């Protein structure tokens, strides 16, 4: 047993019980269906603005881009344009590749001793799982927009169609899967989260550096995906009523329709917790990646002089000025001067 992940797991279980009992036993649909979502969205927006503006206010005194290739140098040395960007345009390309393809994560290597020498091996699985996780999550968010828009835009319908393109159907007396159409993104998300969690407890040195703040979002997202899948395929909720609630929220005419099903409120509460927790946690790397000085600065310190913006204006007394001031006294004392 490891306290680091047990606390996180217990926290998520406590949140589940809070929402479940709050709606099922105490009948607090108003709190969980309307008040908490609004508070969570407000906290998310305010938190993101606060964090990003905090980063914007921090001065960046030095050029500290991580250089992953040959810098622009003499004309006959071939520079690596995007891995060591020299111009703002190249920085933009590098940022797009970083944000969309996680290239710095792709470079992740594992080192070990082989025949007395250090050896490196490409460690690709974290990159694969991270990519799967982020894109699955994006797809999930985009296709959830069908519950927040009326009429549903064609683009969102298209994403849904693509996501449910493969029809898995298992129809036996006990297992009935396939109707409604299975979304790939939900399964990929669940699998990727499971991988990211298992990685943290199986690899010893990753386990050593993992904190409750690393496990909590994983459990929370697992809970969100799990309750979502539960609602869609197993303990079905009333989708019409669910959309009435979500649309009511986003059109500022909040209502609590009857008979949605308690799983929906648990799912919604988990999402609210994630939203409110987001700006104040490691998840804020969503904004942080754009503001990393190691990524968003061109590596041009050899060509352009960068002066620290908060340098104190130092009073300089040069030798010329010194000699100008004391020339006569220096000549009197027999000291050598540059100008007679």
Partner 1 sequence: MNDKKIFLIKDKKYIIAGLVVFIALFTFPFWYNSGKAAPGPEIKLTEKAKAAKECVMPTAYMRAEHMQLLDIWRHSVVRNSDNTYVNPSGKAFTMSLSNTCLDCHSNKADFCDKCHDYASVRPYCFDCHIDNPKEIK
Q: How many residues bind partner 1 (CB under 8 A)?
A: 53
What is the SS3 assignment for the chain? CCHHHHHHHHHHHHHHHHHHHHHHCCCCHHHHHHHHHHHHHHHHHHHHHHHHHHHHHCCCCCCCCCCCCCCCCCCCCCCCCCCCCCCHHHHHHHHHHHHHHCHHHHCCEEEEEECCEEEEEECCHHHHHHHHHHHHHHHHHHHHHHHCCCCCCHHHHHHHHHHCCCCCCEECCCCEECCCCCCHHHHHHHHHHHHHHHHHHHCHHHHHHCCHHHHHHHHHHHHHHHHHHHHHHHCCCCHHHHHHHHHHHHCCCCCCCCCCCHHHHHHHHHHHHHHHHHHHCHHHHHHHHHHCHHHHCCCCCCCCCCCCCCCCCCCCCCHHHHHHHHHHHHHHCCCCCCCC
Work out whether 163 is an interface residue with partner 1 (CB under 8 A): no
Which position among 76, 208, 252, 319 is part of the footprint of partner 1 (CB under 8 A)?
Answer: 252
Which position among 180, 213, 285, 320 is part of the footprint of partner 1 (CB under 8 A)?
Answer: 180
Which position among 7, 16, 20, 55 is part of the footprint of partner 1 (CB under 8 A)?
Answer: 55
Cβ contact 200:214 at 8 Å? yes
* Residue 21: cis peptide before it, omega within 30 degrees of 0: no
CB of 82 to partner 1, least distance (A): 19
Stretch that binds partner 1, among 168-176, 206-214, 315-323, 331-339 (CB under 8 A): 168-176
C-beta of 177 vs 331, nearer to partner 1:
177
Work out whether 39 is an interface residue with partner 1 (CB under 8 A): no
Stretch that binds partner 1, among 20-28, 77-85, 169-177, 189-197 (CB under 8 A): 169-177
Stretch that binds partner 1, among 5-13, 67-75, 182-190, 309-317 (CB under 8 A): 309-317
Q: What is the CB neighbour count within 10 angstroms for residue 39?
A: 14
CB of 229 to partner 1, least distance (A): 15
Query: Taking phi first (over 0 means left), then psi (-120 to 50 degrees means alpha), and beta for anything else, what does residue 178 get?
Result: left
Work out whether 243 is an interface residue with partner 1 (CB under 8 A): yes
CB of 56 to partner 1, least distance (A): 4
Which positions from 201 to 240 touch partner 1 by CB under 8 A, shown as an x/- string?
A: -----------------------------------xxxxx
Work out whether 241 is an interface residue with partner 1 (CB under 8 A): yes
Work out whether 54 is an interface residue with partner 1 (CB under 8 A): no
CB of 263 to partner 1, least distance (A): 12
Stretch that binds partner 1, among 3-11, 285-293, 319-327, 331-339 (CB under 8 A): 285-293
CB of 157 to partner 1, least distance (A): 6
**What are the tokens at 146?**
């069908």
C-beta of 52 vs 201, nearer to partner 1:
52
Binding site for partner 1 (CB under 8 A): 44-45, 48-49, 52-53, 55-56, 59-60, 145-150, 152-153, 156-157, 160-161, 169, 171, 176, 178-180, 236-241, 243-244, 247-248, 250-253, 255, 257, 287, 290-291, 306-309, 311, 313
């Amino acid at each position: 047993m490891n306290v680091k992940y047990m606390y996180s797991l217990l926290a998520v279980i406590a949140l589940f019980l809070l929402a479940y009992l709050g709606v099922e036993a105490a009948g607090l649909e108003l709190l969980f269906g309307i008040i908490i979502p609004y508070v969570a969205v407000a906290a998310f927006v305010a938190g993101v603005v606060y964090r990003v503006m905090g980063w914007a206010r921090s001065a960046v005194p030095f050029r500290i881009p991580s250089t992953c290739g040959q810098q622009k140098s003499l004309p006959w040395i071939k520079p690596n344009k995007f891995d060591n960007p020299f111009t703002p345009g190249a920085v933009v390309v590098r940022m797009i590749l970083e944000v969309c393809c996680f290239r710095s994560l792709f470079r992740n290597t594992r080192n070990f001793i082989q025949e007395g020498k250090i050896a490196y091996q490409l460690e690709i699985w974290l990159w694969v799982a991270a990519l799967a996780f982020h894109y699955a999550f994006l797809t999930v968010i985009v296709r959830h927009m069908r519950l927040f828009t009326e009429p549903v835009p064609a683009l969102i319908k298209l994403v849904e169609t693509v996501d449910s393109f493969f029809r898995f159907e298992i129809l036996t007396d006990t297992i009935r899967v396939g109707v409604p159409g299975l979304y790939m993104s939900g399964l990929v998300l669940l699998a990727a989260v499971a991988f990211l969690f298992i990685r943290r407890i199986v690899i010893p040195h990753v386990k050593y550096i993992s904190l409750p703040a690393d496990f909590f979002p994983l459990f929370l997202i697992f809970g969100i995906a799990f309750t979502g899948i539960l609602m869609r395929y197993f303990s079905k909720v009333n989708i019409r009523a669910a959309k009435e609630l979500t649309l009511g929220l986003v059109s500022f005419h909040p209502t609590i329709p009857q008979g949605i099903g308690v799983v929906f409120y648990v799912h919604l509460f988990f999402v609210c917790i994630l939203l409110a927790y987001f700006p104040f946690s490691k998840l804020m790397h969503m904004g942080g990646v754009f503001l990393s000085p190691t990524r968003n600065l061109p590596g041009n310190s050899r060509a352009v002089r960068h002066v620290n913006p908060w340098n104190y204006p130092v009073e300089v007394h040069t030798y010329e000025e010194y000699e100008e001031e004391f020339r006569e006294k220096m000549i009197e004392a027999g000291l050598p001067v540059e100008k007679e």
